[in-house]
Structure 1
Amino acid sequence: MIRRHFLKNTTLATLAFWSTLASCSQARGPQIETAVSGGEADVIVVGAGMAGLTAARQLQDAGLAVLVLEGRDRLGGRIWTDRSLGVPMDMGASWIHGPDGQNPITPLAKAVGAKLFVTDDDSVILYNTEGQPISDDDLVASEEEYEELLERVAAYGERQERDLSLVAALQRVEPSALNDPLQRYHLTSFLEFDAGGPLDQLSTWYWDQDEAFPGKDVLFPDGYDAVINYLARDLPIYLEQGVERISYDQSGVTITTNQGEFTASAAVITLPLGVLQGGTVAFDPGLPNGMRQAMGRLKMGMVNKVALTYPRVFWDESLQYWGYTDPERGKYSYFLNARTFSPANALMTFGLGNYGLKLESQGDEVIAADVQQTLKRIFGGNIPEPEQVLVSRWTADPWARGAYSYAAVGSRPQDFNALGASVRDVLFFAGEHTIAKYRGTVHGAYLSGERAAKELLKVWAD
C-alpha cells in the first residue's frame, strides 16, 4: 500500500502528460513503442486485444497512468484484419453477433463511423458431395430435425449423473446422426463453429449455457480493426514485449518481458486461456488453486479460416453463403462470399472442430488445393486457380494457442467466472474466457475488460 500511494503522488506529471495528449485529438493514434527496456506506471495492462484495450481505455480516462504490453508486433490479438491480399480480411473475429440492444461493440462501431454489412443466414445453398444442391424443403426439414436432436441430447444429458461429450450423447440418442450428411453439416457448420470446440470434447451439460444479443449478425467490410484502433488512441502501447514472469505482492507488480522489467501498483492480465494453460508465463507466487483448477477444465477451440482470391468470379455473386456436406466433419463445410461486401473476388471457408486443428499442420498450397477440390465438385472443373491464399493457425499462434474458449466435458460455467477473479487486489483478469455469460465473443472480451477496470478503480478508490 505504501508503494501504491507513492506511485500515485509521483506520477502526477505523467498523468498530466497523457491527459494533454488525449485532449489534443481523438483521432490521434496510440503511442506505439517496439523496443523498451522497462517502465513504470500506475497500472500495466498485459495484452492489446479487445479486453486489454477496453480496460486500458477506461483506466486512462479515469486518470490513471496506464502502460500496455503486447507480445505481437500489432494490436488486436484475435481481432486480426489482414490486408496482404489487397483487401481487408478478418482472419479472427469477423462479426458483431446480435448488434441490437446492449451489444457494446455496436456503439464503438458507430463512434468510429465503421461501415457495417448485415449478413443473412438464409442466403445459402447447401450442396451434396455430387455437387447437387439440396432442395429448400429438404434443408428446412433437416434443420427441424437438428433442433429436435439437440433437444433430445439435452434431455438425455440432464438425466445423467456425470457430464458426457456431445459425441457420446449423440451416439446414445441418435447414432445415425453423425453419419447423416445433413445432420453432420449442421453439427459442424453451426454447433462446432458457434461453440468453438469439437463434438468429442464439448460438454453436453454446458456447451450452450451462454447468452446472445438479439438481431442479425453484421461484419466490417473495411476491417474489424477500426474499433481496435479507436480504443487504442493515445494509449502508451509497447509491442513485441513477450511477457515471461508476473511477480506480485500487496505492494504491487513487476512484469518481466523478453526486453525488460515493468513495475506498477496493479495489473490487468488479458492473456488468452491457451497461453495461461501453456505455462509460458510464470506467476510468482502461483495463482490460487481454484483458478488453476478452473483453467484446467476449460479448453480452447480450433476454428480456422482460409481466405482465397480469384482472377474472376465463378459463383453467384448475390449469394452470401453456401455449404457442402463433406464426409469429414469440419472440413470446409461452410463458405462466405466476400464479393457481397467487398470489391475483391474472394471467398472464405472454415476448418472447424478437429479438422480446424488438422489443417494447421498443412501448408498453404495443400490447403488451397484441398479447398479447390471441394469447389470443383460444386462448380465444375473449369474454375480458375486461386491467385492468393491466407490461412489462420490460431492453435499454433504462441500469443493465442487457440481460437476461443469453450465448455469442455467436466467443466462448469463457474470456471469462466473464476478466471475473472482478482488476486490480492493487485492482479485483475479479463478476456473472453473470463465471462461465462458471453464467453468466446468479442463483446464478452469487451465486457470483461470493462469489469476488470471497474473492479480495479474501486480498489484504487479504497
Structure 2
Amino acid sequence: MQPAYRPRLTPLPEAPEVLIIGAGAAGIGAARTLQARGVSVAVLEARDRVGGRALTVALRGHALDLGAHWLHAGPINPLVALGRARGERLRRAPQESHVWVGRRPGRADEVRANARAFARADRAMTGGAAQPGDDRPAARALPPGLGPWGSRVAQVHGLVSGRPLEQVSLNDFPSMEYSDNFFLADGYGNYLARLADGLPVALAQAVTRIDWSGGRVRLGTADGTSYRARALIVTIPMMVLRDGPAFTPPLPNAVRAAIDGFTTGIYEHAVLHWPSSPFRGRDRLAAIHGRRRTPPGLLTRIDGTPFHYYELDLREAAALDAAGSGVDGVRRHVRAVLADLFGHHRVRDLSIPAVSTWRHDPWSRGSWAVVPPGHAPARQRLHEPVGGTVWFAGEALSREQWGTVGGAFAEGARAAVAVATRIRSGTA
C-alpha cells in the first residue's frame, strides 16, 4: 500500500562527504544530524518511499500504521521531544487495559490479578532478578507462582520481544511499563516522512556493492549507478545485512559475526475495521484469558475509531506461513479467532482492510533484530567504525530502545555525530 504522506526530497549533492544507506528512521536521523553540522550528505534508499518499517496509510479517511505504532520510552525517545517541539499531535497511551476471561469482561478481582501478574513479571525481568549484563534466556527470569495468568504473561512478553522468551537475551528484555508511551494522531509513518522533508534522498537505489578500501567508500547499485564519499553510514536492517551488500574487502570476522548473530523478530498486525467490537475507550490493549486461541496482542479503538490492531507473534505468523495461507489466510484466521472468542454474530461487520508482512518484505525480512542469549556484546561491537570509514546504525544497535523507531533514530544521530567529528578533525 502507498504511504499517506510523501516528503519533498531534494537532489543529491554532486560530491557528498557522507553516504547513508537507508532512509528509515536511522537514515533520517543521521542525515538531519549531519546537515545540522554542515556536512554534505546523500541518502540512498532501496524502496520507492522513505520511512522503512514505519508506514502510515490512509484507510477510510483515517491514518493507520502498518508498521511501528508506539512511541516507546517517552523520557529517552528523541522523537517524543522532537515531536513536541514541532507541534506534532502526540497523545499518551492509556495505562489501563481491557481484561476478558473467556467471553466475558473480567471481574474486578481478575483485573487486579492480571495487573499483579504482569507487574511481577516486569519487575523480575527488568530489575530484581535481572542484573546488568545478564545474558541468559529471558524465560528463566519469569517468576514462579503467576497462576492462571502465567501463560498469558509469557505470550505477551514474547510478542513484544519479537520471539519466544527462551530465544531472547534477558540483557535486552524490553520494559512493559506503558505510562510514558505515546501515539500520533496522524500516524508514526507520516511523522517520520515529514522529518525527511528537504533531505537529499534518492529512492529505488538498492546498494549491492560497498568498497571501503583506501580510506574512502565507493558504492554500486543494482541499476549500475556509482557513488563516492569520505565516509558511509549503513542503516540496513540486520536481517538484510546478513546477505548483502557485498563488502570489499570483506568485513572483519568479529563484525561479520556480530551481524550474523542477530535473529529475526516478528511482530505483525492485521488492521481491523470492527464497529460492533465489544471494547470501549480509545487506544486500550485487551488481555484475553481462558480460551484455546487468543490474539497475542489486541489494540482496540485506535484514536477512538472502529479500527483495531490484531497483533501476530512469531508462532502465529510461522504457523500461518507453514500452512501457505498468505494474507487472505491471515484474514480468515483472525476472523475465526475473534468469532470463537466473541461469537459469530459479533464479527458480522468485521472487515480486515490491511495486513502487514514485514517478514516477507525483501528490505526488512522481519520486524526488528533480536539479540539471542549470549549475543549481547554485538551491539557495542557494531558501534565501532570499520576502517575509519564505515559506521553502522539502526534499531538493532540501541540497548535502551532496541526494536523501536526511536532507538533507530537515536542510533542514526549517534553515528552521524561520530562521522562529523571524524571528518571535521581531518581523519576521515
Q: TM-score if structure 2 supplies the norm length?
A: 0.86
Q: How does 1:14-53 map to 2 (within 5 A)?
A: 29-31=8-10, 40-53=15-28
Structure 1 pair 283/212, CA: closer, same or farther in 2 (3 Å)? Answer: farther
Of 234, 246, 254, the residue aligned with 1:282 is 246
Contact 1:32–1:239 under 8 Å retained in 2: no
Specify the alignment match of 1:381 in structure 2: 344
**Aligned partner (choices 79, 82, 86) of residue 105 of structure 1:** 79
1:182 aligns with 2:143: no
Runs of at least 5 residues in structure 2 that lack an aligned partner in the other structure: 1-5
Alignment of 1:226-305 (within 5 A): 226-259=190-223, 260-277=225-242, 279-305=243-269
Q: In structure 1, what is the Cα distance between the partners aligned to 2:345 and 2:11? A: 48
Partner of 1:90 in structure 2?
A: 65
Contact 1:326 1:332 in 2 (8 A): no
* Rg larger for: 1
Paired position in structure 2 for 1:405: 369
1:224-248, Cα deviation, whole Å (9 max, x unpaired): 1343233212111111111111111
Alpha carbons of 1:112 and 1:285: their partners in 2 closer, same or farther (altered >3 Å)? same
Counterparts of residues 346-365 of structure 1 (less than 5 Å): 346-360=307-321, 361-365=324-328
Cα 1:146/1:53, change in 2 over 3 Å = closer
**2: CA distance, partners of 1:80 / 1:342:** 20
Change (3 A) 1:236 1:349: same
User: Residues 317-369 of structure 1: CA distance to partner in whole angstroms, max 9, x if unpaired?
Assistant: 3262322237678x623211235x154x2111101132244345532322222
Deviations 1:79-98 (A, max 9, x none): 11122554211121112113
2:56 is the alignment partner of 1:81: yes
**1:83-121 deviation digits (Å, cap 9, x = unpaired):** 25542111211121132x343112321244322222213
**CA 1:122–1:214 in structure 2 vs 1: closer, same or farther (change >3 Å)?**
closer
Q: Is the 8 A contact 2:18 2:41 kept in 1?
A: yes
Deviations 1:392-411 (A, max 9, x none): 11221111111112221221
Say yes or no: does 1:192 pair with 2:151: no
With the length of structure 1 as denominator, give the TM-score of the two structures.
0.80
Matched residue of 1:395: which SS? helix
Contact 1:167 1:199 in 2 (8 A): yes
Q: What code does the residue aligned with 1:69 have?
A: L
Report if the CA contact (8 A) 1:98-1:217 is conserved: yes
- Letter of the structure 2 residue corresponding to residue 307 of structure 1: V
**Quick one: distance in 2 between partners of 1:423 and 1:81?**
35
> Which deviates further from its counterpart, 88-97 or 43-52?
88-97
Query: Letter of the aligned partner of 1:134 in structure 2?
Result: G
The 5-angstrom pairing of residues 213-224 of structure 1 reads 215-224=179-188
Residue identity over aligned pairs, in percent, reads 27
2-structure distance, mates of 1:164, 1:57: 37
CA distance in 2, matches of 1:193, 1:333: 6
Distance, in Å, in 1 between the alignment partners of 2:327 and 2:7 is: 37
Query: Does structure 1 conserve the Cα–Cα contact (< 8 Å) formed by 2:121 and 2:153?
Result: no
Give SS of 1:96's match. coil
Q: Post-superposition shift, 1:122?
A: 0.9
1:195 maps to amino acid? S
Structure 2 contact 136–171 (Cα < 8 Å) conserved: no
The corresponding residue for 2:281 is: 318
1:41 is paired with a residue whose SS is: coil
Distance in 2 (alpha carbons) for counterparts of 1:213 and 1:448: 22
- Structure 1 residue 193: deviation in Å? 2.9
How far apart, CA to CA, are the structure 2 residues paired with 1:293 and 1:372? Answer: 42
Contact 1:308 1:386 in 2 (8 A): yes
Q: 1:237 to 1:435 in 2, by over 3 A?
A: same
Verify the 8 A CA contact 2:281 2:304 in the aligned structure 1.
Answer: no
Q: What amino acid maps onto 1:221 in structure 2?
A: A
- 1:452 and 1:156 map into 2 onto residues whose CA distance is 33
Task: Count matched residues.
Answer: 413
Residue of structure 2 in register with 1:117 after alignment: 91
What residue in structure 1 maps to residue 333 of structure 2? 370
Residues 153 and 232 (structure 1), Cα distance of their counterparts in 2 relative to 1, 3 Å cut: closer
The answer on whether the counterparts of 2:7 and 2:196 sit within 8 Å (CA) in structure 1 is: no
Contact 1:114–1:220 (8 Å) recurs in 2 = yes
* Residue of structure 1 equivalent to 2:398: 435
2:270 alignment partner, one of 297, 306, 314:
306
Alpha-carbon contact 1:30-1:235 (below 8 Å) kept: yes
Which deviations, in whole Å up to 9, do the C-alpha atoms of 1:153-184 show, x marking residues without a partner? 8999889xx965445776xx85x97xx65222
Instruction: Write the distance in 2 (CA, Å) between the matches of 1:31 and 1:289.
Output: 37
User: What letter is aligned with 1:141?
Assistant: A
Residue in 1 aligned with 2:31? 56
Distance in 2 (CA, whole Å) between partners of 1:218 and 1:256 is 39
For structure 1, the residue ranges without an aligned partner over 5 or more in a row are 1-26
